Structure 1
Amino acid sequence: MRTDVVVIGGGYAGVMAANRLRQREDVVVTLINSRPVFVDRVRLHQLVGGSHDAVADYGDVLGEGVRLVVDTVVRIDAAGRSVLLSSGSTIGYDYLIYAVGSAGAEPVVPGAAEFAHPIAGLEEARRLRSVLDAVPASAPIAVVGGGPTGIETAAELAEGGRNVTLVCGGVLGPYLHPKARRAVAKRLAKLGITVLEGAESKVVAVTADAVELADGRRSPSEVTIWTAGFAVPGLARDSGLTTDAAGRLLTDETLTSVDDDRVVGAGDAVSPSGRPLRMSGQVAFSLGAQAADTVLSRIAGSVPKPIDSGFAGQCLSLGRRAGVFQFARRDDIATSYYVSGRLGATLKEIACKAGFRHLTTEARRPGGYTWLKDDSRAARVRDGHHVTPAAQPGPLGVGRTPAP
């Protein structure tokens, strides 16, 4: 008897889950994604800077037998065990894995929606690249947001000879230990980037030629790039499933929806016990694998295991010739240890390639992916403590640009 599993979302978590489900020959996997190509999101800033196209063919990352449907899910009918597509078609399922990822949050600052350019998704990054190609290299560029995406984008452009101001609106690299933060600031200064920090640097308005700051200053900007804030799609909430305040699918510690044991979540848009882990590729890979394991356990009639995901740290590229790898405790607290310079850049590139390799390896050998564990999560959830610190999401545990 066959079991039909539908995976919504073809990013890191969704592809990992789809590939891993193939451990059973009686499981038929359908992956639904809005694009016909896989987006390597941790490289979107490189697409903008011109050093990478940030895409791959799904044939290179999906295992044999996974059916790819290029369409958008507009509603989940949990009672009827089916999903409605924008094309008007419906697809039924026995189990559903909800891996819709994240995207850039809609800016509420006056003028930002009209004059600022997001970098959250493939199409946005491509449009931004075209905009940059159309202005002189000397044109002032403002990158708004001091998290991983903002830092990496600013460094990539400055290394290419652009005139960049990084507007943090707070602390530069809020996740980083102060030692690593100083190393990042030093590299940005070497690249000629003006960094505006502190509450007084918060952007309060965006115009066609400047960003206006909380203290009344105007920073000239012919191209304003918006990297501040992330959000998840409203599909779960709109479909009547229980979500947390941010719209993430609310699940138990096995990633199973609190409403329906046939719906399992993975990646950025899931909130286990109302305590989501950091939005990152590092988490997406492990939660995608664990979501698949939960479904396979239910098919086999066994009890799914609770999630167990640990962190190695966060790495940032600072152009192509330098980077910072910030080491962390497994519970996602930054330590005083970091690696910078060329070695930091090498470690970042290794991490990016390793992430892609996790998917291709799982495609060839389902069930082979293993990940770093954090055995203390169960105790923290039980005791009611927050699992991870408040920090801006960022690439591959590793700083982060948003998802497909």
Structure 2
Amino acid sequence: MSDSTAVVVIGGGYAGVMAANRLTRRDDVTVTLINPRPAFIQRIRLHQVTAGSGEAVVEYADVLSPRVRLVVDAADRIDTAERDVHLASGDAVHYDYLVYAAGSAGPEPRVPGAGEFAYTMDTLEAAQRLRKVLDATPESAPVVVVGSGPTGNEVAAELAEAGRTVTLVAGTTVAPYVHPRARRSIAKGLARLGVTVLEGPDAKAAEVTADAVRLTGGRELPSAVTIWTAGFGVPDLAARSGLRTDELGRLITDETLTSVDDERIVAAGDSASPSGVPLRMSCQAALPLGAHAADTVLSRLAAERPATIDIGLPAVCTSLGQGHATMQFVAKDGEPMGLFVGGRLGSRLKEITYPHVLEKLAREAREPGAFVWKPKDERRPRLLAERGETAALADRAA
């Protein structure tokens, strides 16, 4: 009988790869990473894949420890009683501990016609499919982008810079995730590229057809290609496996990232909802979440009490074409500050920051435990107190 502990990681994105690499700190732990693709996908580059201005695929050999066994398959169901992950291929992988890092994707659009006529770009395959559609569409044909989150703003900018006629349906306001000062910087960058931005109470998509987008205010926008970037969703794997999730399907955990249903399951990244108060989705948050999830498992193996999360997000970056970007700095309470860097300097900072993400994964593969982060988020205690869960969480973590 083997004395090793089997840890399975579901999801090979930023959080999953960080967790898998970090788990190799112990020689008596075997790590298996389950991912439906044989390569690592940089989601922060998918807008460039869509526009044909960049690539998003990185070989796992460049970021994943050779001690991690990669299983290219999709997780279909988690059997918590037997501690098995059943795969789409029909195989199963047994675990002693499971790291749930299934990631996120855009939800099925609920607006009439959007599911049939609009294109998404939240996965590599979706971005590649959209790229082919755009290649087959005349450059002068109108393109409508629905949603003014980072993805919507970035793809609208990339396509406009490539010569496309782009309208961005922003909803109530453009770039609602940043400070008003940074919002003006993003709006200025979009205008510089010729993007028509529609915002306000009447600037929401009400219906999508094969050649138009109708807004709530009644206006109809001609659209040869409609790109849907609004909304947020996660895979329903946790819910299908009988684990408790929040209203969007994220696995509910305590503040150590441990499932409230099963001490053997720890979550990280966009699919985790600690205490029902999830952190802002981003690769910058995914890395420390993945590291913390691994540390929780390692603490339990060492018969130590796992630490509670304390993760801050330093900045949010929005690319506006190849040469401009807006980098929004975030305060210790998690709220966007009035401080930001825009234009060409913002782009230079972004291009310095993005490669560092891969470098941090690669270093963790070489030196498990090397990744460190500065605790910053002073907002979580307040949010938890507002939910009245502080005492319950202390009992759960003890």
1:326 aligns with 2:338: no
1:382 CA displacement:
4.5
Taking structure 2 as the reference length, the TM-score comes to: 0.95
1:237 aligns with 2:239: yes
Q: Which residue of 2 aligns with 1:112?
A: 114
Q: Which residue of 2 aligns with 1:219?
A: 221
Deviations 1:205-240 (A, max 9, x none): 011111101111111110100000110111111101
Q: Which residue of 1 aligns with 2:288?
A: 286
Contact kept? 1:7, 1:29, Cα under 8 Å: yes
Query: Hey, what's the Cα distance between the residues in 1 that align with 2:226 and 2:179?
Result: 28
Q: Report the CA distance shift for 1:261/1:5 in structure 2 as closer, same or farther (over 3 A).
A: same
Q: Which residue of 1 aligns with 2:395?
A: none
Contact kept? 1:313, 1:327, Cα under 8 Å: yes
Q: Which residue of 2 aligns with 1:300?
A: 302
1:386 CA displacement:
10
Deviations 1:239-284 (A, max 9, x none): 0111112111111100011111110000011111111111111111
List alignment gaps of at least 5 residues for structure 1: 388-404
Contact kept? 1:117, 1:128, Cα under 8 Å: yes
Query: Hey, what's the Cα distance between the residues in 2 that align with 1:379 and 1:209?
Result: 48
Q: Which residue of 2 aligns with 1:76?
A: 78
Q: Which residue of 1 aligns with 2:393?
A: none
Contact kept? 1:146, 1:170, Cα under 8 Å: no
Q: Which stretch shifts more, 11-20 or 378-387?
A: 378-387
Q: Which stretch shifts more, 351-360 or 287-296?
A: 351-360
Output the amino acid matched with 2:357.
Answer: G
How many percent of aligned residue pairs carry the same amino acid? 59
1:174 CA displacement:
0.2
| Partner SS, residue 122 of structure 2 | coil
Query: Hey, what's the Cα distance between the residues in 1 that align with 2:123 and 2:377?
Result: 33
| Partner SS, residue 157 of structure 2 | helix
Q: Which residue of 2 aligns with 1:203?
A: 205
Query: Hey, what's the Cα distance between the residues in 1 that align with 2:48 and 2:374?
Result: 27
Contact kept? 2:18, 2:361, Cα under 8 Å: yes
Output the amino acid matched with 1:362.
Answer: E
| Partner SS, residue 206 of structure 2 | strand
Q: Which residue of 1 aligns with 2:172?
A: 170
Moved over 3 A (4+): none
Contact kept? 1:380, 1:386, Cα under 8 Å: no
Query: Hey, what's the Cα distance between the residues in 1 that align with 2:258 and 2:49?
Result: 35
Q: 2:17 aligns with which of 15, 18, 43?
A: 15
Deviations 1:72-127 (A, max 9, x none): 11110111111111111111111000000001110011111111000110000000
Deviations 1:268-318 (A, max 9, x none): 111111111111111111100000000000011101000110011211100
Output the amino acid matched with 1:129.
Answer: R
1:139 aligns with 2:141: yes
Contact kept? 2:157, 2:321, Cα under 8 Å: yes
Query: Hey, what's the Cα distance between the residues in 1 that align with 2:388 and 2:218?
Result: 37
Query: Hey, what's the Cα distance between the residues in 2 that align with 1:76 and 1:155?
Result: 40
**Pairing 1:120-159 to 2, within 5 Å after superposition:** 120-159=122-161
1:18 CA displacement:
0.2
Query: Hey, what's the Cα distance between the residues in 2 that align with 1:278 and 1:375?
Result: 11
Query: How many aligned positions are there?
Result: 387
Q: 1:354 aligns with which of 350, 353, 356?
A: 356
1:372 CA displacement:
3.1
Output the amino acid matched with 2:178.
Answer: L
Taking structure 1 as the reference length, the TM-score comes to: 0.94
List alignment gaps of at least 5 residues for structure 2: 390-398
Deviations 1:121-169 (A, max 9, x none): 0000000000011111111000100111100000011111111111111
Q: Which residue of 2 aligns with 1:366?
A: 368
| Partner SS, residue 306 of structure 2 | coil
Query: Hey, what's the Cα distance between the residues in 2 that align with 1:174 and 1:305?
Result: 33
Q: Report the CA distance shift for 1:375/1:205 in structure 2 as closer, same or farther (over 3 A).
A: closer
Q: Which residue of 2 aligns with 1:40?
A: 42
Contact kept? 2:10, 2:34, Cα under 8 Å: yes
| Partner SS, residue 230 of structure 1 | coil
Deviations 1:317-357 (A, max 9, x none): 00001010111102320111111110111111222111111
Q: Which residue of 1 aligns with 2:93?
A: 91
Query: Hey, what's the Cα distance between the residues in 1 that align with 2:29 and 2:328?
Result: 40
Q: Which residue of 2 aligns with 1:259?
A: 261
| Partner SS, residue 202 of structure 2 | helix
Q: Which residue of 1 aligns with 2:190?
A: 188
